[in-house]
Chain A
Amino acid sequence: MTVRLYLPRDAAARSMGADRVARVIEETARARKLDLQLLRTGSRGLLWLEPLLEVETPQGRVGYGPVSGENVAGLLTDVVLRGGPHPLNIGLVEKHPYFASQQRLTFARVGVIDPLSLEQYQAHGGYQGLRQALTMSPADIVQAVTDSGLRGRGGAAFPTGIKWKTVLDQQATPKYITCNADEGDSGTFADRMLMEGDPLCLIEGMTIAALAVGAAHGYIYARIEYPDAIRTLREAIGIARTAGFIGPDIQGSGKAFELELRCGAGAYICGEETSMLESLEGKRGEVRVRPPLPAVAGLFGKPTVVNNVISLASVPVILAKGAAYYRDYGLGRSRGTLPFQLAGNIRHGGLVERAFGLTLRELLYDYGGGSASGKPIRAVQVGGPLGAYFPESLFDTVVDYEAFANVGGMLGHGGIVAFDDTVDLAQMARYAMEFCAIESCGKCTPCRIGSTRGTEVIDRIVRNENRDKNLGLLQDLCETMLQGSLCGLGGMTPIPVQSALKHFPEDFMRTRS
């Protein structure tokens, strides 16, 4: 009987040698005349175990990892091909503590199916949401998304349904659906994993958005640093088009939706929505002054939905299972689930999709297993380069949008970067300013000039030149950037700087050699 094996084709797995493992498996199977079928999937998100090979058994899929080309020979044995013992055996993957306690709504299929199999996609619930949406009026679709409580997963957490309603209410045509897939925050990779592991889910979400607001054209704006995601998405768009899930007549409904993939060219600022729209129009990614909102006058001056990958990919399950099903996860005004990404100096880095409401400590220790280096975790940065640095005393903060705002932070896109006790927060604060200087679009002065002055002032503080005066100047500069910048880049760069000053002042006061 054919034994079915699964191995991720996800970029993180490939970065650890998954392609070589696949090659050696094929060669070994041929040499030993083994009856094997190797399927490439997305990643389950247990990234420290990649490449994670899974063997299908009657009880479920048994995992072995991390596998290298060298241990393939020892794995393709009768024992292992029945899911039996081996030093790399982690048991049934879905019973693994890291995985079993997760609440996979948006990532339900990632790591499970062949990302480019329409058949497997549909066998695992794919396109149920779209089929439901096709029976509904645009206003009812918007209402369902509003009722689900879904808020923008890109970082700003604006209610998705309200954004869609604004676009639906506009008279101007044509309208556009744009997907912001410019995932530039360090410590985040959920968009990448979804686009590589379940691209049809994103396409389905965008199609539902199009039906909801009356758009017939959509763009995915993907970053050039993600070649695997770009390749997979291109193929998936072709597959969806061939099968009539996008195109001039979606499943015989008479409704049309054309979808195009566009690539960025390495500019962090293009993750900001108006800058992304400029870039989609082929221009410099300079931030636009709001109002008008993109929902009113966005791409090519027309009403435009701008949503993050995870927001759009969460829509199919909301339509398929109902708004209440999604809303029943989470707490307060943070409903549903968030795919957290554990990164940096963390033993068990990976993706954890959970309802809002657990604590940072649970994520860092119960899932993350503490630091990779074995030293104490001294600081974590949550929400990307513009997020706050948290000290250990704040690790019990409950993870929801409001609780994070209350302690001066933000959840952003759900990226959590851990640092051990070798981190120098004065240097990280300087880096925040330096990064802003490199990536500023240049349109507004607080961001363009303030960031460069910021690095200089931090340098003087660290060198103990007029330290007190320069500390005051730095606070003043941070306030100017916070209040005076056009967008979140200049407006939030002070957050990591001020949190470092507040929680780790000793790093700025030290005498250095």
Chain B
Amino acid sequence: MSEAQAATALDGTQLQVVQAELVRGKALPGPLLEVLLAIQQRLGFVPPAAVPVIADGLNLSRAEVHGVITFYHYFRQQPAGRHLVQLCRAEACQAMGANSLAQHAQRRLGVDFHATSADGAVTLEAVFCLGNCARAPAMMVDGELHGCVTAQRFDAVINELAGRS
């Protein structure tokens, strides 16, 4: 794929966002991570077709850009579902039943971790520590932190999401 072809695979808005962030990023030392974070924040993901554009804009190789995207757990190359549910699976949460909560969440949503439900409503992710270890188990839903999450509380939050969307 030539760089021109890859760029056309981005739609107009996406290309605009990527280019704007490249302009902003060029003023920073070591800008790649900042640029990627900003693109994901605005587009919800980093489209694979953005890779050559970013590489070109920051004078890096595509391998370097791809390498950074795939190194960090936070970046996604496909859009997530309408809602993002992140369950903490680290030790403090495990001590308070995070493993059975994880099983419950997978059953309730009908998805595995790092997958999106068939209706596109919810993406389920495992994370390691949300810093709420005294109120375990913890989860984050669309950026909002929840503590002492039981199966019942989990269902209540998910039902509320369904009502919202």
Could you list which residues of chain A lie within 8 angstroms of chain B, going by C-beta atoms?
11-12, 14-16, 47-48, 50, 183-189, 191-192, 224-228, 262-268, 279-286, 300, 341-346, 349-351, 372, 381, 385, 415, 417-420, 423, 428, 431, 435, 438-439, 441
Complex: A346 Cα to B130 Cα, angstroms? 18
Q: Does A48 lie within 8 Å of B145, measured CB to CB?
A: no
Q: Is the CB of B107 closer than 8 A to any CB of chain A?
A: no
* Contact among A262, A268, A283, A344 for B68, CB-based, below 8 A: A283
Q: Return the 5 tightest CB-CB contacts between A and B, nearest first.
A: A349-B134, A186-B90, A343-B133, A344-B95, A265-B72
- Would you mind naming 30 contact pairs between A and B with Cβ atoms under 8 Å apart? A11-B131, A11-B145, A12-B145, A12-B147, A14-B144, A14-B145, A15-B145, A186-B91, A225-B131, A262-B34, A264-B74, A265-B36, A265-B73, A266-B73, A267-B72, A279-B33, A282-B68, A284-B68, A285-B72, A300-B30, A343-B95, A343-B136, A344-B136, A349-B133, A349-B134, A350-B134, A385-B128, A415-B92, A417-B95, A418-B95
- Residues of B within 8 Å of A186, CB to CB, are 90-93, 128-129, 133
- Residues of B within 8 Å of A227, CB to CB, are 143
Contact residues of B between 17 and 70, Cβ < 8 Å to A: 29-37, 64, 67-68
Q: Does B36 lie within 8 Å of A344, measured CB to CB?
A: no
Q: Does A189 lie within 8 Å of B72, measured CB to CB?
A: no
B123 to chain A, nearest CB (A): 14
Complex: A419 Cα to B33 Cα, angstroms? 37
* Contact among A15, A192, A351, A438 for B146, CB-based, below 8 A: A15
Complex: A263 Cα to B40 Cα, angstroms? 13
Q: Is the CB of B75 closer than 8 A to any CB of chain A?
A: yes
Complex: A268 Cα to B72 Cα, angstroms? 9
Complex: A11 Cα to B131 Cα, angstroms? 9
Complex: A406 Cα to B113 Cα, angstroms? 40
Q: Is the CB of B127 closer than 8 A to any CB of chain A?
A: yes
B53 to chain A, nearest CB (A): 16
Q: Does A268 lie within 8 Å of B128, measured CB to CB?
A: yes
Interface range on chain B: under 10, 10 to 19, 20 to 34, or 35 or more? 35 or more
Q: Does A187 lie within 8 Å of B72, measured CB to CB?
A: no
* Contact among B67, B127, B129 for A284, CB-based, below 8 A: B67
Q: Does A265 lie within 8 Å of B136, measured CB to CB?
A: no
A34 to chain B, nearest CB (A): 29
Q: Does A185 lie within 8 Å of B34, measured CB to CB?
A: no
- Residues of A within 8 Å of B132, CB to CB, are 11-12, 15, 189
B73 to chain A, nearest CB (A): 4
- Residues of B within 8 Å of A185, CB to CB, are 129
Q: Does A282 lie within 8 Å of B32, measured CB to CB?
A: yes
Complex: A190 Cα to B140 Cα, angstroms? 19
Complex: A239 Cα to B2 Cα, angstroms? 47
A427 to chain B, nearest CB (A): 9
B27 to chain A, nearest CB (A): 12
Most chain B beta carbons < 10 A, residue from A227, A265, A300, A420:
A265
Most chain A beta carbons < 10 A, residue from B67, B91, B95, B131:
B131
Q: Is the CB of B148 closer than 8 A to any CB of chain A?
A: yes
Q: Is the CB of B138 closer than 8 A to any CB of chain A?
A: yes
- Using A188-B131, A343-B136, A344-B136 as known contacts, say yes or no to A285 and B95 having CB atoms under 8 A apart: no
- Residues of B within 8 Å of A15, CB to CB, are 132, 135, 138, 145-147
Per-position binary interface string of chain B over residues 89-133, scored 1 when its CB falls under 8 Å from any chain A CB and 0 otherwise: 011111110000000000000000000000000000001111111
Q: Does A16 lie within 8 Å of B148, measured CB to CB?
A: yes
